[in-house]
């Protein structure tokens, strides 16, 4: 059963703080429903929402050419293609996922509908009530 504690989150906090500082992100790290660790990116020098919307719109128009695309104001990184971002941002996301999954396990078997993970990891770009902000340098 997935479980994430405040104590374990606090072990990840210094490494995530250093990583976000290196890439220029303002962030929070939180535990959601005792099962998920969430890295929330609030501000940064990269226009993540524009990158996401540009790539998503292109994909959407190829897949459903006669439909209207509605741009996102916030999104979760694990649910989008990381090819939509720059190589530098892909390095950031890969390192963040590596740090947040340190000590985790995944013995899930989706064929038998059996899921066994140590905890879940989410990286959010903004949220429904607080959009991501671009910091202009």
Mind giving me the DSSP string for 15-64? HHHHHHHHHT-EEEEEEETTTEEEEEEEEESS-HHHHHHHHHHHHHHHHS
pLDDT at 1: 81
Nearest to 72 by CA among 80, 64, 62: 80
The encoded tokens of residue 111 equal 């064929």
Model pTM? 0.88
Strand partners for 127: 130
Distance, in Å, from the CA atom of 45 to the CA atom of 26, rounded to the nearest integer, reads 10
What letters, b where the CB count within 10 A reaches 16 and e where it falls short, cover 94-104?
Answer: eebbebbbeeb
- Measured on CA atoms in the order 94, 81, 108, 100, is the torsion positive or negative? positive
Task: Give per-10-residue mean pLDDT for the chain (137 aa).
Answer: 93 98 97 96 95 87 85 83 83 93 90 87 94 88
HSE (side-chain half, CA atoms, 13 Å) at 112: 6
């Amino acid at each position: 059963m997935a479980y994430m504690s405040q104590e374990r989150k606090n072990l990840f906090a210094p490494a995530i703080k250093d990583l976000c500082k290196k890439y220029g992100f303002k962030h929070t790290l939180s535990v959601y429903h005792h099962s998920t660790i969430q890295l929330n990116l609030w501000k940064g020098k990269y226009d993540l929402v524009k990158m996401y919307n540009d790539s998503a719109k292109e994909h959407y128009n190829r897949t459903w050419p006669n439909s209207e695309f509605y741009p996102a104001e916030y999104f979760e990184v694990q649910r989008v293609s990381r090819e939509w971002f720059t190589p530098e941002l892909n390095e950031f996301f890969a390192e963040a996922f590596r740090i947040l999954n340190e000590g985790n396990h995944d013995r899930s078997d989706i064929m038998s509908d059996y899921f066994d993970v140590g905890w879940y990891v989410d990286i959010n770009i903004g949220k429904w009530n607080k959009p991501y902000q671009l910091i202009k340098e």
